[in-house]
Amino acid sequence: MPTDPVLLDNLTLEQSSVVANNAMNRGRGLSGVNSYARELGFDPYEMLAERLRTDPTAEVTWIDVCCGSGRALLEAEQRFDREFPTADVRIIGLDLVDFFLNKPRTPRLRLLTTSATIWTPPREADLVTCVHGLHYIGDKLALIEAMTSWLVPHGLFAADFDPAEIRRANGSPVAEAVAESLRAAGLTYDRRRIHGHGRPRFTATYLGADPTAGPGYTGQPSVASYYDW
């Protein structure tokens, strides 16, 4: 007879082998076959570069949560340095594990080893991304709320997301209610991706997370998050 999962709080969860790993999001570059552009459906650099082409005096900020090795951000730093050497650009990458490919070359890029669940940004962002990171987060809904709150008005949020990883207290799925909350906030959920400018508020109380839930749609281990909805 199946037993109820043991639910972990965020601190304990982040110390588990499923979450504190060095294999997640390690090889993705900015563009190409295995890239952010492919996963997100647009090129983050080109999106921000277009704003600078329109207004060279603009402040541009990109925050990437669960950035892995930071390869895509390091590539973006290099391109901004080459194509917009005097522009006010800030790129911030967050990851729980210090496994970055290289150190930043300029002050424009910061690669931080920290939990996204407790971090606050130094300024609002034009773009906030999370490529296959939410699979490893405990309170996924709170982090979605937080990440969308970091945006400037009409800033863009884009993240991979599997609503099947959200469960009610009894383990039953709650995917449709999650999708409805996203739609009500003006966000879209399509092709396993959240995309848009809205700021959702979820009417749910986080209960804890199960890192033994098994693989998600990526085939990699993921975390099931439980809520009193």
d(CA 196, CA 110): 25
How confident is the model at residue 2, as a pLDDT? 53
How confident is the model at residue 30, as a pLDDT? 95
Q: Tell me the per-residue pLDDT of 128-155, one tens digit each, with 9 for 90 and over.
A: 999 999 999 999 999 999 999 999 999 9
- For residue 226, the one-letter residue type is Y
Which domains are seen in the chain, by residue range? 10-228 (3.40.50.150)
Q: 52: Cβ–Cβ under 8 A, 6 or more apart, which residues? A: 58, 60, 84, 87, 89
Write out residues in the chain with pLDDT < 70, as ranges.
1-3, 21-26
How confident is the model at residue 1, as a pLDDT? 42
